[in-house]
Structure 1
Amino acid sequence: MAVDSPDTSVKDRVRALVAAHRGDRGALLPILHRIQEEFGWVDQEIVPVLAAELNLSRADVHGVITFYSDFRSEPAGRTTIKLCRAEACQSVGAEQVVSHAEQVLGIKVGQTTSDGSVTLEQVFCLGNCALGPAAQVNGRVLGRVDAKRLDAILVTETVSS
């Protein structure tokens, strides 16, 4: 999606997604998920289109997008790393892994490297508690991730992306 203004084809696609869910109760969330799946992020420029199509205020649409951490308001890096920060993972060193990742990548959780190679995110449970600290790399859940394993993941994933 264009940052300046979504082109007509993007607007048309968004309208088609709205039409597919128009009769659904609470349609905004499934529509936003579909937009994120299709485009990789939810461009703020389509907020007025969604608001108009769903008869909602722009503030309502924006509020939902910013409330849920699953929605991105800018494109993600080629590699997305989600580090679990739930209690089970914290108890086995997750915070050290997060600190290491931030230091190595030169970014904070929730940011993307300047070259667009890696987006670092936090989650609060990947359901892999017995193998913590857990991470999810491009949708693949991994266990027992320490600083050394994270370094290996970064090398493998950023080279192959």
Structure 2
Amino acid sequence: MDIRSSADDFVSRTQAIVAELKALEGPLLPILHAVQESFGYVPDEVKPVLAEALNLSRAEVHGVVSFYHDFRTHPSGRHVLKLCRAEACQSRGGEALADRVRELLGVDFHQTTQDGAVTLEPVYCLGLCACAPAAMLDDELHGRIDADALEGLIAEARL
């Protein structure tokens, strides 16, 4: 598929998502979530489509995408590992875990391993403060993680 047909695909699929969800109250966030679920990220090509359909400026759409950490503007790896960076997790060894995961994966936050297996993302609270430190692999939460558990998650993601 060439770049032009890919952009056309983004636009047509986004228009279908908008048609389905536009009637919701405050539809931008649900539409952005649906777009990301469909493509794995929010492509730049869809921002003007959303702006026009929802009577917003492109800057408003871009502002929402860039404000919320859950929206990605580029494709992620096959798995997404989110490591909590909030205070409770930091107080329970989160920084050492962050250093270890970056070492094991060979990437920093917001990057994807060369094999395309894992994208590493920081998150600022997973709601598991009582079980700190915490991580999320894809949509599965993991609390009270240590270096061994972290290595297990990475091994699982690399399969």
- TM-score scaled to structure 1, two decimals? 0.88
* Matched residue type, 2:25: R
Following superposition, the deviation at residue 135 of structure 1 comes to 0.7
Residue identity over aligned pairs, in percent, reads 49
What is the aligned length? 159
- Looking at structure 2, the residues matched to 13 and 97 of structure 1 have their Cα atoms a distance apart, in angstroms, of 39
The reply to whether residue 152 of structure 1 matches residue 152 of structure 2 is: yes
Unaligned runs of 5+ in 2: none
Alignment of 1:1-161 (within 5 A): 6-159=6-159
* Matched residue type, 1:126: L
Q: Deviations over 1:89-112 (max 9, x none)?
A: 111101110111112212111211
In the alignment, is the contact (CA less than 8 A) between 1:81 and 1:137 conserved in 2?
Answer: yes
**TM-aligned CA distance change 1:129 to 1:4, over 3 Å:** farther
* Aligned alpha-carbon RMSD (Å): 2.0
Deviates more, 1:4-13 or 1:149-158: 4-13
- TM-score scaled to structure 2, two decimals? 0.89
**TM-aligned CA distance change 1:108 to 1:92, over 3 Å:** same
* Matched residue type, 1:11: V
SS of the residue 2:125 aligns to: coil
